[in-house]
Amino acid sequence: MQKNKVYIETYGCQMNLADTEIVRGILQNKGFDRTDSADDADIVLLNTCSIRENAEQRIYGRLGNFKNLKGSKPELVVGILGCMAERLRKNLVEEKSVVDLVVGPDEYRRLPELIEVAYNGDKGIGVKLSKTETYDDIIPHREDGLQAWLSVMRGCDKFCTFCVVPFTRGRERSRSLASIVDEVKQLAERGFKEITLLGQNVNSYRDNNSDFANLLAACAEVDRTMRIRYTTSHPQDLSDKLLITIAEHQNICNYIHLPVQSGSDRILELMNRTYTIDHYLKLIEKSRKNIPGVSFSTDIIAGFPTETYEDHVMTLDIMREVKYDGAYMFKYSPREGTKAYRMKDDVSEETKSNRLHEIIDLQQQISFEKNQELLGTDEVVLVEGLSRKSDEFYAGRTDTNKVVIFPKKNEIAQGSYVSVKINKATHATLFGNFVDIADVANDNLALIA
Ligand code: 5AD
Ligand code: SF4
């Protein structure tokens, strides 16, 4: 009997979610089956994240569970994929005897072969990084749905001093525009309504003469009823051409994730972020001028080495100034191999926690105030399905990525666009009533014409 049922758990960023679908595509081509139960699996794969220490701690906890499972099922193959595989390499199999497979982000094509090695009782290890691998020709295995991730480039060349990604995912490289557009076409035909183009720094996308603005436009033109999102943008590379492209296409979402990391120029320099707060604020102003109604989210790190109380206050200041619609907020976590790792991690755990709490509290207040401004307005919502809390309500999202809850209407199908009048708002959610079906495609044609 062939042992081939694969169970995969995915941790970390959206790029890992997209990679898991690539891995599923590769394994499916070689005749492996999927299972959604670890107990039922012959092979368990964890697609891992190394971005902060606590991400890795979770994986170690999970490996403990699989050690127990393997106790009762010795032939089970346990594999680590993703950033932790790349970072820890052979150490993983040496320190964690439960691990049979260690496969980094650029070696997934070798998975079938490495699984065979593990079946034969050896350890399967593939951790070389590549300058060219983009999995351009692999069709990711996606379940049917409305929303799809699509990675357009891999790796990162920015070398922010706190970040392990350039070491775990290697050098920056882009997929071909033609293959990305083809994939978008296939997704449109399958009824997907929202595509998120992924890359560590999408603004440096390049395929011959095409840059990221060209790519976005080409994707948006595939199907005007399909929303196009993208993440992540780097403040150094966000071009005027890109802003104009977003403004010109109604189905490119008016939402920019633009990590600021800190409000202090001194800290930004130590982070090697290569922009100043002045540059960043001008970019926000220019975006708001070119793209009316654009919303912003950001990433913020509290307690980078040498961060003083004054630096921290500057972070709070920029949050108040930009008024982000949302933020991902973290405590600084030293990562071995990075430049910042060599600096003394001199902000105490308690101070990091206090600063992070202040940042989170402020963001909640700002999000609440921004959402209150939407009371009484009509928002175009892509209906995603029933709300998590009640079958009597639908949940969907605005173009600016805000969740909207409204009473269910049987005549409205998932994947429709509707107009909803907002009558209540918390910091996280908008509530309202159905007004009408929104004629998104026609709006677009009017705008382009
Ligand atoms: N410590 C804390 N946060 C980090 N990030 C990246 N590396 C670290 C680290 N060592 C955050 C940054 C980045 C986001 C994806 O994760 O804010 O933008
Ligand atoms: Fe890490 Fe900076 Fe690259 Fe983002 S841009 S992945 S934070 S090195």
Residue 380: strand pairing partners? 419
In a domain? residue 43: yes
Ligand 2 pocket: which of 52, 151, 154, 165 to mutate (most atoms within 8 A of CB)? 165
Domain identity same for 193 and 233:
yes
Element containing residue 196 per DSSP (H, E) = strand 194-198
Among the candidates 339, 373, 407, a domain finishes at: 373
pLDDT band at 449 (very low <50, low <70, confident <90, very high): very low
pLDDT band at 405 (very low <50, low <70, confident <90, very high): very high
Q: Strand 326-331 vs strand 378-386: parallel, antiparallel, or unpaired?
A: unpaired
Q: Which of 67, 69, 9, 16 is nearest to 34 (CA)?
A: 9
Q: Is 233 touching ligand 1 by the criterion CB < 6 Å?
A: no
pLDDT band at 190 (very low <50, low <70, confident <90, very high): very high
In a domain? residue 336: yes
Average pLDDT over residues 413-425: 96
User: In angstroms, rounded to a whole number, what is the distance separating the alpha carbons of residues 290 and 278?
Assistant: 18
In a domain? residue 31: yes
pLDDT value at residue 32: 96
In a domain? residue 22: yes
Nearest CA to ligand 2 atom 1: 163
pLDDT band at 336 (very low <50, low <70, confident <90, very high): very high
pLDDT tens sequence across 16-59: 999 999 999 999 999 999 999 999 999 999 999 999 999 999 99
Buried/exposed 172-196: b ≥16 CB within 10 Å, e otherwise: bbbbebebbeebbeebbeeebbbbb
Domain identity same for 365 and 289:
yes
Ligand number nearest to the C-alpha of 337 = 1
User: In angstroms, rounded to a whole number, what is the distance separating the alpha carbons of residues 434 and 421?
Assistant: 7
User: In angstroms, rounded to a whole number, what is the distance separating the alpha carbons of residues 234 and 160?
Assistant: 11
Evaluate if residue 444 carries a pLDDT over 70: no
Domain identity same for 382 and 340:
no
In a domain? residue 132: no
Q: What is the mean pLDDT of the chain?
A: 95
pLDDT value at residue 441: 66
Domain identity same for 243 and 181:
yes
Q: How many CA atoms lie within 13 A of 111 on its CB side?
A: 33
Average pLDDT over residues 234-262: 96
User: In angstroms, rounded to a whole number, what is the distance separating the alpha carbons of residues 432 and 379?
Assistant: 9
Domain identity same for 383 and 329:
no
pLDDT tens sequence across 361-376: 999 999 999 999 999 9
Phi, psi torsion values for 303, nearest 5 degrees: 85, 35
Q: Is 11 touching ligand 1 by the criterion CB < 6 Å?
A: no
Atom of ligand 1 nearest to the CA of 299: 17
Q: Provide the CATH number for the domain around residue 326.
A: 3.30.750.200
Domain identity same for 236 and 288:
no
pLDDT value at residue 2: 65
Domain identity same for 9 and 122:
yes
Q: Provide the CATH number for the domain around residue 408.
A: 2.40.50.140
DSSP annotation of 40 reads G
DSSP annotation of 322 reads H
Evaluate if residue 447 carries a pLDDT over 60: no
Domain identity same for 330 and 414:
no
Domain identity same for 198 and 220:
yes
Ligand number nearest to the C-alpha of 271 = 2
- The number of domains in the chain is 4
Say if CB 203 and CB 237 are below 8 A apart.
Answer: yes
Say if CB 444 and CB 401 are below 8 A apart.
Answer: no
CA of 201 to the centre of ligand 2 (A): 7
pLDDT tens sequence across 306-322: 999 999 999 999 999 99
Atom of ligand 1 nearest to the CA of 328: 17
In order, the DSSP letters of 371-440 are HHTTTT-EEEEEEEEE-SS-TTEEEEEETT--EEEEE--TTPPTT-EEEEEEEEE-SSEEEEEEEEE--H
Evaluate if residue 303 carries a pLDDT over 70: yes
Structure tokens at 247: 């403004």
Ligand number nearest to the C-alpha of 261 = 1
Q: Is 59 touching ligand 1 by the criterion CB < 6 Å?
A: no
Range of the domain at 229: 142-253
Q: Provide the CATH number for the domain around residue 201.
A: 3.30.750.210
Q: Is 431 touching ligand 1 by the criterion CB < 6 Å?
A: no
Ligand 2 binding pocket (C-beta < 6 A) is 156, 158-160, 163, 165-166, 200-201, 234
Atom of ligand 1 nearest to the CA of 338: 10
Domain identity same for 365 and 392:
no
In a domain? residue 264: no
Domain identity same for 18 and 120:
yes
Ligand 2 pocket: which of 87, 162, 200 to mutate (most atoms within 8 A of CB)? 200
> Which residue bears the tokens 């209407």?
409
> Which residue bears the tokens 């902000």?
347
Helices (H), 89-147: 90-95, 111-119
Among the candidates 59, 93, 126, a domain finishes at: 126
Average pLDDT over residues 143-154: 96
Residue 441's Cβ-count burial label (10 Å; 0-12, 13-18, 19+) is middle
Say if CB 251 and CB 296 are below 8 A apart.
Answer: no
Q: Provide the CATH number for the domain around residue 116.
A: 3.40.50.12160
Q: Provide the percentage of residues in the chain whose pLDDT is more than 70.
A: 97
Say if CB 11 and CB 48 are below 8 A apart.
Answer: yes
Q: How many CA atoms lie within 13 A of 137 on its CB side?
A: 4
Q: Provide the percentage of residues in the chain whose pLDDT is more than 90.
A: 95
Q: Is 259 touching ligand 1 by the criterion CB < 6 Å?
A: yes
Among the candidates 126, 158, 178, a domain finishes at: 126
Atom of ligand 1 nearest to the CA of 335: 10
Domain identity same for 307 and 212:
no
Q: Is 332 touching ligand 1 by the criterion CB < 6 Å?
A: yes
In a domain? residue 52: yes
Residues 6+ apart with CB under 8 A from 337: 87, 164, 167
Q: Considering the entire predicted model, what is its pTM? A: 0.95
In a domain? residue 131: no
